[in-house]
Amino acid sequence: MLFNSYLFIFLFLPVTLVGFYALARVSHTIAAGWLTAASLLFYAHWNISYVGLLLVSILFNYAFGTWIAKAGVKQNGVRQKRLLIIALIANLLLLGYYKYANFFLDSVNSVSDTGLSLGEIILPLGISFFTFTQIAFLVDTYQGKVKEYNFIHYTLFVTYFPHLIAGPILHHKEMMPQFGHASTYRFNYENMAVGLTIFFIGLFKKVILADGIAVYVGPIFNAPANIHLTFIEAWVGALCYTLQLYFDFSAYSDMAIGLSRMFGVTLPLNFHSPYKSVNIIEFWRRWHMTLSRFLRDYLYIPLGGNRMGVPRRYLNLAVTMLLGGLWHGAGWTYIIWGGLHGIYLVINHGWHLLRRMMGQDPSRVLSLPMRILATLLTFISVVVAWVVFRADSLATATAMLKAMFGMNGFVLPMAWRFRWGTFGQWLAEQGISFGATNHLVPLSGVAYYWIGGLLLLVWSMPNTQQIMAGYKPALGLPKDFKPGWFRWQPSHAWLTVALLCAFYATISITKISEFIYFQF
C-alpha cells in the first residue's frame, strides 16, 4: 500500500485514525494493539506471505533482546556477548539470503563460468529497515540503553507503518517512551493540523514534483548502447534523476513524519536539505540521517572510528561507505557508489586536516562566494555519484559519465541555434557545434524548465522542518537548525495552502508510483 494512493488516503488512514483514538478511550494497550494490527495489514497489502517472516523476525529479536538483558542483569558478560553475536549473525544471514544471495552467486558464476542458482528470490519489502531497526535494538540492549520490554510496544516499534517500508531507522529509546505516554493516546488538534500539513506537503512533492520530473529520467538512462548520448542529454538525465530522488525521498520523509504526528508520535528527522551542503561531510549529516547515524554508531565507531590514527580512520570511513552502498542494493553499481562517497569523505577529512595543520579553522563560516562555490562543487560530486547509483549496469554508468565529461563532444541541439536567432548564429561562427540529437530530451525545453525550477526550490526555499519549526516537527534537529524565513501558523491562509496542495496532488494521482527507497 502506498502513501500516495486513494486506498491509503481515503480508507486505510481515516479508519486507522478513528479506530486508534476511539479504542484509546477504552485502553491504551488495545489502541496500541490496533495500530500494530493496522501496520501489519499495511505490510500485508504488498505480499501477505511475508508477514510471517516479519513476525518471526520480531519474535526472534524480542526473545534474544530479553535474554541479553537478563544476562546483563546477572552480570554474565560472556553469555550476554554470545547471545548478541548469535542474534546479529541470524539477522545478517536473513538479510544476506534475501538481498545478496543471488548477487553473490551471479558474481561467482561470472568469474568461474558456473551455473549456480537459488532460483528467484523476491526481496521482502522494507527488510533492510526492519532488520537494521532490530539490530540497533539488540546492540542498545547489550549496552544497557533499553529500559522497556513491553511486547506490544516492541512489535509496534518495529512494524509502525509510517516508517516500516523506507525508514527512518528508529532507536528503541526514541519510540518506546512515546508509545507508553498517555498524551500519545489523546486526540490533539495541534498534532492533527501539523501532521496533515506535513503529509500534504510531502504528497505534493511526490506526486507533482518527483513524479513530474521522473518522465525525463528513464529515456536517457535506458538509452540503447548504440546511441552516443550528447553532453546536454547526459547532464539533463543526471540532473533530472538527482532532483527526482531528492523530492521523492524528501516526500516520503515528510509523509512519514506527518502521518506519525497524527498519531501523537514524533519521528526522528531523516532529510534536511542535503543539496545545500558545502561539503560531503555535511551532506551525510543531512541525507538519510538515521542511516548515517546507524552506520556511525554500529559500524564506523566499532571499527575504531577516529581513535586509531589518521590512516585507520580513513580506512574505516571507506569500509563504512562501501557497506553503506551495499546496504542500498545487491549490485556493483551500489558498491561503487558507496566507494565514491568513501573517497569523497576521505578527501574532505584530509582537506580539513591540512587546513588545521596550516593553522586554519575548517569550521569557520565561509564567505558567500566561497559558500556558493563549495555548495556547487559538492552538488556536482553528488550528481556524478548518483549516475552510478541509478544506472542498471556499469556499462550504462560509464556511457553516461563519458558523455557528461565531454568525451562524446559538446554538440548542442540544432533547435537551440534557430531558437536563439542571431546569438545562435554568432555561437556557430565562433566554432560552437550544433547538430542533431538523439531526441531523448524534449526539444520543447520542458525538461530544462523543470531542472531550473526545482533547483531554485532546493537552494532558495526553507524545507518542511524549517517551515514547521514552531511546532517541533521531528526529533534530532541539528544543533545549527534555523527556522525558515516564513513559518506555518494555524491560520486560514495556511489552511488554504495545505488544502490546495492536497487537492492538486490528489487529483493528479493517475498511476501507481512507488517511492524509490522502497527497493532498498
Rounded Cα distance, 13 and 259, in Å: 9
All three cell numbers of 502, joined, read 492536497
Three-state SS for 487?
coil
Which 8-state DSSP code applies to residue 108? H
All three cell numbers of 399, joined, read 556511457
Angle at CA of residue 14, ends 10 and 16, nearest 5°:
125
Is residue 15 within a helix (H) or strand (E), and if so which, with residue range?
Answer: helix 13-24
Q: Which of 153, 163, 171, 328 is catalytic?
A: 328
231-262 helix and 368-390 helix, angle to the nearest 10 degrees: 90
Three-state SS for 424?
helix
Residue 268: what are its φ and ψ, rounded to 5°?
Answer: -70, 150
Cα dist from 380 to 26, 318, 394, whole Å: 55, 20, 20
Asked if 330 and 102 touch (Cβ cutoff 8 Å), the reply is: yes
Sign of CA dihedral 36, 42, 45, 47: negative
Three-state SS for 435?
strand
What is the residue whose three cell numbers read 580513513? 314
Three-state SS for 121?
coil
Asked if 217 and 390 touch (Cβ cutoff 8 Å), the reply is: yes
Three-state SS for 473?
coil
First-to-last alpha carbon distance for the chain, in angstroms, is 16
All three cell numbers of 111, joined, read 568469474
Burial of 149 (0-12, 13-18, 19+ CB in 10 A): middle
Annotation says 328 is catalytic: yes
User: What is the set of active-site residues?
Assistant: 328
